[in-house]
Amino acid sequence: MEGLSISSIWKLLTWLPKFILRRIFTREKLRDLILFDVRPRHEYATINLGEVASFGLWLQITNISPFEVELDRSSYDFQCAGVKLRSSILERISIASGETKVLHVEGSISDGEANHIARCIDNHNSSLEGIMEFNCKLHSFSRNNWHLNGVLPRFINETYRLPNKSMEPTANASAD
């Protein structure tokens, strides 16, 4: 048995009839065999607070089930500095058994939200949550209400939103 991989064992099961596979691999079991996280290397989250504010997240989904699954659609809520930034993916993405897919999620940030993030940048406690809908030859299933803490974004152009201290009147100027 040494050298026998998990994917080899999974392949041995796939010849079973679907009605048996459905009993073994329930929706909940398939859901638990889909792993989700932010990308582990390089930047995985950025918030650009420039004139046209935006955010971007790099996510990875790993399918450790014995079946190919399809990400049908997904929606994401990125909490940063008390602001909920929303985005979604509406395209279908196939993920083979044992495969990891990297997804880029992005969205725009309103001026009010960007100003608030810039003011609270030191106090941010960012997290990511969402809903993912999957299709498989056995079942359609969901990963609902998952939550990732400790998402640390890199801020770009954060000084664009801060008040310019050199433009404020000084105490000496007001005494004249």
Q: Could you give the CA distance from residue 151 to residue 75 in angstroms, rounded to a whole number?
A: 17
Instruction: Report pLDDT digits (tens) over 71-80.
Output: 999 999 999 9
pTM for the predicted model, two decimal places: 0.76
Q: Could you give the CA distance from residue 108 to residue 85 in angstroms, rounded to a whole number?
A: 8
The topology under which CATH files domain 6-160 is: Immunoglobulin-like (2.60.40)
| Structure tokens that stand for 79 in this block | 């909490």
- According to the model, what pLDDT value does residue 176 have? 46
- According to the model, what pLDDT value does residue 100 have? 93
DSSP state of 32: H
- According to the model, what pLDDT value does residue 141 have? 93
Contact predicate 133/73, CB 8 Å: yes
**Spans of the chain, pLDDT less than 50:** 1-4, 166-169, 173-176
Q: What share of residues in the chain are helix, strand, coil (percent, to 5)?
A: 25, 40, 35
Among the residues of 88-131, which ranges form H helices? Answer: 111-119
What are the sequence ranges of the domains in the chain? Answer: 6-160
| Closest among 88, 83, 129, 79 to 110, alpha carbons compared | 83
| Closest among 74, 144, 141, 148 to 105, alpha carbons compared | 74
